[in-house]
Amino acid sequence: MTEKENPLRQEKRRKLKELREKGVNPYPYKYDKTHEAARLKEKYAGLNTGESVEADVVKIAGRLMTKRPMGKAAFFNIQDESGNIQIYLRKEELDENSNTVFSLVDIGDILGVEGYMFKTQKGEVSIHAKKVEMLCKTLEPLPEKYHGLTDIELKYRYRHLDLITDPESREVYRKRATILRETRRFLDDLGFLEVETPILQKIYGGAAARPFVTHHNTLDMQLFLKISPETYLKRLIVGGFEKVYDMNRNFR
């Protein structure tokens, strides 16, 4: 289906145009938030049911994931890197700009919300919004919210969409970063020196695999993508280093 035939894309572009016509910048360059979602929920977890803290003004930014209008009020959830948090608003409490933004918002848009914390009758720590700003109007629809991307091939090709809809995929990235950090710390504590070996090599070696071949035009030289760092690490040992390691990528 082409962009012209897709009603969701057409509607998003119509709303983008209307936002601009009403004087709302749909892509502001800056928004100063005060907290992340997870930190707010942790900080105000001790509130009693129905209790609010109007004196504490908080500002948060995140992607709109759900929206539940209820007449002149609405509940919605926004998600940032740390997690998600529920937002509550009443239209008569918002300024004109905020009402314009909320009337033209779509799932997937990135919003800035200013308000105060309270705990709902169901015991959920939430933000009572006093101001809503559009930070990024999305022009492409998100995958279906409950199942996300289920096709493995699509997950690899559209990793950004998979990360938006699947918290487990985001956790893989965090765990990978932790593993690399702790591996480096372990080796550094043992006195090893981290080095970088060439990605493009004149002679490939260290493993029995067919290399990826490219050509250096200026030097008129055939080069190979690294199969293994072994030979270059050995050169460093010959050069006088006794403990070296390389957190590298090999191409096989």
81 and 34 share one domain: yes
For residue 81, being part of any structural domain is answered with: yes
Domain boundary among the residues 136, 160, 180 is at 136
Domain around 214: 191-252
Whichever domain contains 77, its CATH number is 2.40.50.140
Q: How many domains does the chain have?
A: 3
Domain boundary among the residues 99, 118, 136 is at 136
For residue 1, being part of any structural domain is answered with: no
123 and 66 share one domain: yes
pLDDT in tens, 189-244: 999 999 999 999 888 776 677 888 999 999 999 999 988 888 899 999 999 999 99
pLDDT in tens, 23-47: 999 999 999 999 999 999 999 999 9
pLDDT in tens, 133-192: 999 999 988 776 545 567 777 777 888 888 888 888 889 999 999 999 999 999 999 999
- Compute CA 115 distance to the chain's CA centroid, rounded to the nearest angstrom: 23
Domain boundary among the residues 136, 162, 177 is at 136
